[in-house]
């Protein structure tokens, strides 16, 4: 089966991008695709074929096969490539199965650390599995969600099992399966208590709770000034307001448009306004030629 993955991975990139998007554009073919992927790849330890993670071991379970192809959000991968450095402390907030965790672990190296926040216990096990496949002891996983404060929160799990969202983050997914209680923490509380080291780079993909995560990290952002990569979910306005309030310079990945003029699912990259050294990086990432690439939107 590794041979089949390698063979598929050598197909032209445009073919792979179309194949990984087909299930979302044409739902009627999804059962057939699922059957083919279950037979060939699901639940198997494979090798990422392209992108920044090429050569790393990964098991996508029932997540998007674009993880294994390495075609998942190439623009975001490139942002990590430009912003992550050896020895850095990077956070992956909403880590899913750990695709970006293993990429970040490669980029920050043995002297760095990747802290993953993921509220779904099954996903936590897959993050740990994928980190262990690559011998990445620098990846630490916290089974909790981030938000404005410390509490228990209701989390809606999708029927596709590898994703979900906080009930407080807007309309539930159309294929909601069940509701569970998860631990909710504010980043400021964790950092102030010394439970985790402060971040230098943060990726946030939390299905509509982006503004809550940023609000609960207000002191951390003001004190430690990490670079940010934030996936929007119709949260353009509150995220734009918070980034301005905290003194960040944002761009929309692969676009010359501002946050308020961008699609609901745009990806924002932001650096502290005083970091003039990162201005060329932001300009490069805003280039329309870069684009973002397909994302996993069940």
pLDDT at position 202 is 98
pLDDT at position 2 is 52
pLDDT at position 172 is 81
Q: Distance between CA atoms of 237 and 242, rounded to whole angstroms?
A: 9
Contact of 248 with 265, CB cutoff 8 Å? no
61 Cβ neighbours under 8 A, 6+ residues apart? 42, 43, 97, 126, 162
- CATH fold for domain 73-285: Rossmann fold (3.40.50)
pLDDT at position 170 is 84
pLDDT at position 158 is 86
Q: Distance between CA atoms of 33 and 65, rounded to whole angstroms?
A: 10
pLDDT at position 33 is 56
pLDDT at position 296 is 46
Q: Distance between CA atoms of 56 and 41, rounded to whole angstroms?
A: 16
Dihedral angle over CA of 208, 74, 221, 224, nearest 10? 160
Contact of 177 with 139, CB cutoff 8 Å? no
Residue-wise pLDDT tens digits, 58-82: 999 878 888 998 999 999 999 999 9
254 Cβ neighbours under 8 A, 6+ residues apart? 75, 267, 285, 286, 287, 288, 289, 290, 291, 292
* pTM attached to this predicted model: 0.87
pLDDT at position 162 is 73
pLDDT at position 289 is 77
Residue-wise pLDDT tens digits, 18-39: 555 555 555 555 555 555 555 5
Contact of 146 with 177, CB cutoff 8 Å? no
Q: Distance between CA atoms of 173 and 115, rounded to whole angstroms?
A: 27
Structure tokens at 43: 């639940």
Give the residue ranges of the chain where pLDDT is below 50: 1, 294, 296-298
Q: Could you tell me the residue ranges of all domains in the chain? A: 1-71, 73-285
pLDDT at position 64 is 83
pLDDT at position 47 is 94
pLDDT at position 238 is 98
pLDDT at position 109 is 98
């Amino acid at each position: 089966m590794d041979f089949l993955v390698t063979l598929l991975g050598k197909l032209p990139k445009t073919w792979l991008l179309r194949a990984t998007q087909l299930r979302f554009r044409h739902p009627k073919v999804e059962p057939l695709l699922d059957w083919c992927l279950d037979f060939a790849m699901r639940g198997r330890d494979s090798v990422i074929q392209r992108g920044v993670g090429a050569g790393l071991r990964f098991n996508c379970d029932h997540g998007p096969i674009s993880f294994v192809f390495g075609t998942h959000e190439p623009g975001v991968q490139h942002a990590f490539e430009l912003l992550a450095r050896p020895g850095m402390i990077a956070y992956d907030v909403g880590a899913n199965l750990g695709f970006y965790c293993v990429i970040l672990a490669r980029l920050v190296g043995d002297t760095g650390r990747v802290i993953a926040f993921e509220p779904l216990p099954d996903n936590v096990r897959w993050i740990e599995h994928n980190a262990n496949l690559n011998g990445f002891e620098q990846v630490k996983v916290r089974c909790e969600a981030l938000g404005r404060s410390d509490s228990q929160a209701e989390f809606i799990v999708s029927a596709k099992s590898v994703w979900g969202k906080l009930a407080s983050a807007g309309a539930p997914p159309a294929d909601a399966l069940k509701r569970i209680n998860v631990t909710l923490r504010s980043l400021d509380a964790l950092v102030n208590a010394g439970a985790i080291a402060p971040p230098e780079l943060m990726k946030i993909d939390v299905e509509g709770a982006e503004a809550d995560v940023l609000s609960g990290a207000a002191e951390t952002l003001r004190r430690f000034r990490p670079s940010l990569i934030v996936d929007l979910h119709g949260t353009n306005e509150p995220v734009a307001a918070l980034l301005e309030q905290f003194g960040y310079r944002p761009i929309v990945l692969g676009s010359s448009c501002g946050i308020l003029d961008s699609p609901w699912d745009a990806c924002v990259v932001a650096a502290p306004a005083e970091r003039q050294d990162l201005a060329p990086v932001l300009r490069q990432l805003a280039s329309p030629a870069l684009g973002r690439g397909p994302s996993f939107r069940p």
